[in-house]
Amino acid sequence: MADTEDKSPGPPGGNGWRREYWKRNLGLMVVLLAIWFIVSFGCGILFVEQLNQIVIAGFPLGFWFAQQGSIYVFLLLILAYCLFMDRLDKRFGVYEYDEASGGKSDEGGAS
Amino acid sequence: MSDIQIWTTIFIVLSFGAYMTIAWRSRVRETEGFYVAGHGVPTIANGAAIGADWMSAASFISMAGLIAFLGYDGSIYLMGWTGGYVLLALLLAPYLRKWGKYTVPEFVGDRYSELVRTVSAVAAIIVSFTYVVGQMNGGGIVFSRFLNVDITWGVIIAAVVIFVYAVLGGMKSITYTQVAQYTVLIIAYLIPAVAVAQTMTGIPIPQVSFGQILSGLNDLSVELGLQVFTDPFNSRPMIDIFLVTMALMIGTAGLPHVIIRFYTTKTVRGSRWSAFWALFFIALLYTTAPAVGAFTKFNLLQGVNGVSTDNLPQWVQNWAATGLVQVNENANVVNSVSNDPAAGADLTVNNDILVLASPEIAGLPAPIVGLVAAGGLAAAMSTAAGLLLVISSSVSHDLYFRYFRKSAGDYERLFAGRIAMAVAIVVAVVAGINPPAFVAQVVAFAFGMAASSFFPAIVLGIFWKRCNATGAAAGMIVGLGFTIAYMLYTLEVFGLAAHDPVFGISPEGIGAVGALVNAVVTIVVSLLTAPPSRHITDMVESIRYPSVPRHTSAADSGGE
């Protein structure tokens, strides 16, 4: 397992990368959670009556957000998170390859 | 035996045979295999297993029926149960996977203290148990209608089957069985939905085409004494819709049997993608459910509107035998329909039967009706098995051996876990025969309890290093205590009288307030007491980054 670790490019700049990595992770999280809140609680609940004035393909818009649209957005948010984090991992040289990890290489920080 | 019963029996025997075979072939004897499937489940399979594990009898059997009667207000279940996955994926899954233990109490045990671990083990048992009762009841409904047995026997049959394969194999067999169960349940859900959408609108995509019947449904509903389908806040005020949705989201993210699933992936990255695949598989059903609800309600109302009570469709008689559909004896012609027996409508239809009855109501052939029954059972069984595993691991791993037998070996631990499952099943059968509320409501309570206990402790534990054991213990006890007290106050359970809700907040929504109370108490108490040790803050630091360069970090992890 040490082999796979040594082959990875190694984090640039000592401890600084960790702070940077965490900051970017948190920033992404806040943006995605803001969208999560606006779409579900905003469009689906707080402003549903106003949005229901608009009807598209038979669906009042607020009703559509509550019963369909928010679910699609949730799915896209998680997809965006996975893709961004993969990119972030690659950029910092800490990308995990499923085959190489061998199941037990990352038993957790507690060990 | 009718055609429907023959086909139901065929599908149930075939699907159960498949589950049993899979369970037997992947049985395990080691602790790691039993609880986390050896950390070796591929991401997409894990996603499907999470989907089956988590989509319970409530999702499959109850939800579309609830939405059919609640209209817009049923969105709480759709948004609440799916929105929780965003929280789970972003706030919990990768970090808990990085920590890499077997159970949720184990995480809080390491992060905080033994006391917090015990509190959360007890909370996990309460939550999972409340939830299991709903599954037993759901399984019982399917058996009693389709196999023509008493509902009590239905529950007992379901319990025996669940016990056999949950006990045999643990997580590994459950995971692969659940992949099979997901396949059965999604096919069973989509085929009738697509068929109904095609016959009614000519567009075979239910998600798109149910918009076409909404305005007709609104008119029909009003005619039969029901609310306008697409109008919001008919049954609950806005504040309650908001809080119930929030409680279900936080509860989903705090459910111990879902969280444990993210330990079964190979990598931290795998746990993130598992969350994506899980929601993908769940969304297939969850975007279809409101369409099924709308179509079925439309068909139901149109089929009985103004029809004389001697002349009602066949499905009414089939379901009347289970007591879940009732025709008012004083009525000659159906002019009103309700899901509430107290309303005294001409026709009373229980929420829980709509999905199961949907193909019959739409006049689809018998094999499809049988397939839906098999799907409903798959949903109930897969969730029950996952929950039993949590109960078993909490009892044996987090309670019994912590306090009584620290030196016990693997064999003894597994044995104790299986005994715990057996006891849980027996108690769940008793409670499943006499459920305190209808299926989806029972499940909503479990979510409220999960929301008000684990979620704040776990999230603060990851994102706030200053959070300490005293704070977390105080927060969990106060949050959960507050939530349960409010539920007991507003509901008629255990012989207590029901009181009016405060500010219109229903017992399902109180979990969101409980979670807030929990977080505030945790933060205040943490700040008033000593900060956690350096050892613990270092551990928290380490779970925030990928594991690959960890060997370099051990030496220089001093920097904050």
The complex's ipTM works out to: 0.83
Nearest-by-CA chain A residue for B560: A19
Question: Which has more pLDDT, B66 or B435?
Answer: B66
- When pLDDT is cut at 50, 70 and 90, the band that residue A28 belongs to is very high
Question: Buried b / exposed e across B457-482, counting CB within 10 Å, b at 16+?
Answer: bbbbbbeebebbbbbbbbbbbbbbeb
Q: State how far residue B39 is from chain A, nearest Cα, in angstroms.
A: 6
Hey, are the CB atoms on B548 and A96 less than 8 Å from each other? Answer: yes
Hey, are the CB atoms on B267 and A93 less than 8 Å from each other? Answer: no
Express each pLDDT in B347-359 by its tens digit: 888 877 777 788 7
In terms of Cα–Cα distance, which of A44, A65, A100 is closest to B546?
Answer: A100
Residues of B in contact with A85 (CB under 8 A): 94, 269, 272
Express each pLDDT in B166-225 by its tens digit: 666 565 667 777 888 888 888 888 888 888 888 888 888 888 888 778 777 877 777 777
Which domain, by its residues, includes A47?
20-90
Q: What domains can you pick out in chain B, each with its CATH number?
A: 3-296+364-544 (1.20.1730.10)
Specify if A13 maps to a domain. no
Q: Within a 10 A sphere around the Cβ of B6, how many other Cβ atoms?
A: 13
Residues of B in contact with A54 (CB under 8 A): none
- When pLDDT is cut at 50, 70 and 90, the band that residue A33 belongs to is very high
Express each pLDDT in B133-156 by its tens digit: 777 777 777 777 766 777 788 788
Distance CA A9, CA B171 (A): 36
| CB burial of residue B534 (10 Å; 0-12, 13-18, 19+) | exposed
Would you say residue B280 has pLDDT above 90? yes
Question: Which has more pLDDT, B373 or B550?
Answer: B373
Specify if A45 maps to a domain. yes
Compare CB distances from B272 to A29, A75, A81 and report the shortest one's residue.
Answer: A81
Compare CB distances from B543 to A4, A64, A109 and report the shortest one's residue.
Answer: A109
- Which has the minimum average pLDDT: A25-39, B179-193, B341-355, B428-442? B428-442
Would you say residue B454 has pLDDT above 60? yes
C-alpha distances in Å from residue B488, one per residue of A79, B203, B434, B493, B497: 40, 47, 17, 7, 9
Interface probe, candidates A59, A74, A91, chain B, greatest B C-beta count within 10 A: A74
| CB burial of residue B376 (10 Å; 0-12, 13-18, 19+) | buried
Distance CA B292, CA B375 (A): 15
Give the torsion through C-alpha atoms of B384, B254, B119, B541, to 10 deg. 130
In B147-267, which ranges are continuous DSSP H helix?
151-201, 206-209, 214-223, 238-254, 256-259
Contact A86/B at CB under 8 A: yes
Residues of B in contact with A58 (CB under 8 A): 210-215
Specify if A100 maps to a domain. no
Mean pLDDT of B60-83: 84
Residues of A in contact with B267 (CB under 8 A): 96, 98, 101, 106
The pLDDT of residue B547 is: 64
Number of domains in chain A: 1
- When pLDDT is cut at 50, 70 and 90, the band that residue B521 belongs to is very high
Residues of A in contact with B548 (CB under 8 A): 4-5, 8, 93-96
Contact A100/B at CB under 8 A: no
Mean pLDDT of B386-404: 74
The pLDDT of residue B550 is: 41
Specify if A39 maps to a domain. yes
In terms of Cα–Cα distance, which of A111, A97, A100 is closest to B101?
Answer: A111
The pLDDT of residue B516 is: 92
Mean pLDDT of B470-499: 80
Highest mean pLDDT among A95-109, B210-224, B527-541: B527-541
The pLDDT of residue B438 is: 52
Specify if A30 maps to a domain. yes
The pLDDT of residue B425 is: 81
